[in-house]
Structure 1
Amino acid sequence: MAFSLITFLPLLFILFSFSNAMFNADTIKTLQGCHKGTKLPGLHNLKLYLARFGYLNHQHAPNNVNTGLDEFDQELEAALKSYQNFYHLNASGTLDGPTISQMVMPRCGQPDMKSSHKHEEKLLTFASRCQFFPGSPRWDKNHLTYAFGLNFPNAFVPPVVRAFNEWASVSGYFTFSRVYDETSADLTISFKNGNHGDGDFTNVLAHAAAPTVGILHYNANWNWSAGPEAVPGAFDLESVAVHEIGHLLGLGHSQDQNSAMWTSIPPGIVKGLNTDDIQGIRALYGLNK
């Protein structure tokens, strides 16, 4: 069954200013064929996109990109090649059709690039396609509680519970239980609408914070399915929950397209954990010893 979240949620009014510049995905489509040396209006949107997801000046906040520069320089070319390499595309440094198709696909809001922290590199020998957050943050306990936010649709609770159960089963380490007080929960799950103060939601399905912040936000503007079967034209809420819970536990994105920690999922598709995801969580928490 598919639901439109607008029918479940009241309008959320942003009562404070939010400074992060936002890219325009539609403008990126008009830039096809651009390459180093090109100067075109709208190129700053490509820079914003690559900064937003960790490829351009990823040591800084995305809004530090100078949006007044619509020039395709060497730094942008290097960033685009890194993006193309991550997504197994032709790393030409030219904004071609397949690259644009990947960029405009709805995806997770977490950046893709990993830290070069030496401890992470050691851990990654067990799971070469799985990335971790800078510093490899993790929980110092294996039982975590979770709570749903105000107005979270009851129909969408079971898919999230199933996602937690899947992680508990494959990890052999974590256990999870639901509580009803958000203030006491380790993890909170809610729907948000648009610009809500902790990241640009443009073309984003959901995002979650690294340990031990414990926040998962779904984008209410998409058409969601409660599953457990795939629903054409709707995004599977359980599959996205599995992905975002991975972030809550400390996993970054994977370069394995079959992994739950791959950055995007098309509508009408159901996806669960695979070997890469399991190896990643075991490596991060030292469960391979």
Structure 2
Amino acid sequence: MRGNRSHVHEHGSITVSHYSFFSGQPKWFQLKNTSKLWFLRNVPAVAIPPIESAFQKWASVSSFSFSRGRRYFDLIIGFQWRDHGDGYPFDGPHGVLAHAFPPTDGRLHLDGDELWSIGAVPDAIDLESVALHEIGHLLGLDHSDNQESIMYPSISSGVVKNNLNDDDIKGIRALYN
């Protein structure tokens, strides 16, 4: 997810689906609806509740459930800095905010150089909003060109966008129907 708005699409009153999937439509196995989360030690305790809230929002509109794993886990969440070994280095503040890999990789990385916030704070990025977007990628959704969708590829600092919209819900349901 990028940290600055790039473009806006206007569609009037026509309802159009703008969600998309990754090539090949990778998804988690249908029988694996309960996923275990593992937070790396570099995730501050204050960051865990907004990230867990983002997971619960996806669970509320899908067949998934999420809980913390103690020994076994499917999804790994952590902060990373610059080149962190996955082939997608971060670029420092005000660029790429985070990235997540499509199923069944399970990694969600947040850029440790960003100024993160919980809620709307000028010049800071709302953690739950970005987590909600990246979890969509973990589940198999790619970007949407609907600027109201959580899967829209950018967000501005000081903005809270922490609800799923119709496009997001239709996308996840279409992928796992």
Superposed, 1:87-166 pairs within 5 Å as: 87-88=7-8, 128-140=17-29, 141-166=32-57
Gaps of 5+ in 1: 1-52, 54-85, 90-126
Percent identity, please. 52
**What's the TM-score, normalizing by structure 1?**
0.53
- Displacement of 1:88: 4.8
Moved over 6 A (4+): none
C-alpha contact 2:81 2:89 (8 A) present in aligned 1: no
Larger RCO, structures 1/2 (Cα 8 Å, 6+ apart): 2
What CA deviation, in whole Å up to 9, does each residue of 1:106-135 have, x standing for no partner? xxxxxxxxxxxxxxxxxxxxx731111110
What CA deviation, in whole Å up to 9, does each residue of 1:205-263 have, x standing for no partner? 000000000000000000001x2x31121100000000000000000000000100000
Once residues 176 and 285 of structure 1 are traced to their aligned partners in structure 2, the CA distance between those partners, rounded to angstroms, is 16
The secondary structure found in structure 2 opposite 1:277 is helix
Gaps of 5+ in 2: 10-15
- Displacement of 1:273: 0.8
> 2:143 maps to which residue?
253
Once residues 209 and 180 of structure 1 are traced to their aligned partners in structure 2, the CA distance between those partners, rounded to angstroms, is 22
> 1:277 maps to which residue?
168
Once residues 143 and 152 of structure 1 are traced to their aligned partners in structure 2, the CA distance between those partners, rounded to angstroms, is 22
The answer as to 2:83 corresponding to 1:195 is: yes
**What's the TM-score, normalizing by structure 2?**
0.85
Once residues 7 and 21 of structure 2 are traced to their aligned partners in structure 1, the CA distance between those partners, rounded to angstroms, is 17
Considering only CA atoms, is the larger Rg found in Structure 1 or Structure 2? Answer: 1
What CA deviation, in whole Å up to 9, does each residue of 1:9-64 have, x standing for no partner? xxxxxxxxxxxxxxxxxxxxxxxxxxxxxxxxxxxxxxxxxxxx9xxxxxxxxxxx
2:108 pairs with one of 213, 216, 238: 216
AA of the residue aligned to 1:267: S
* Paired residue total: 161
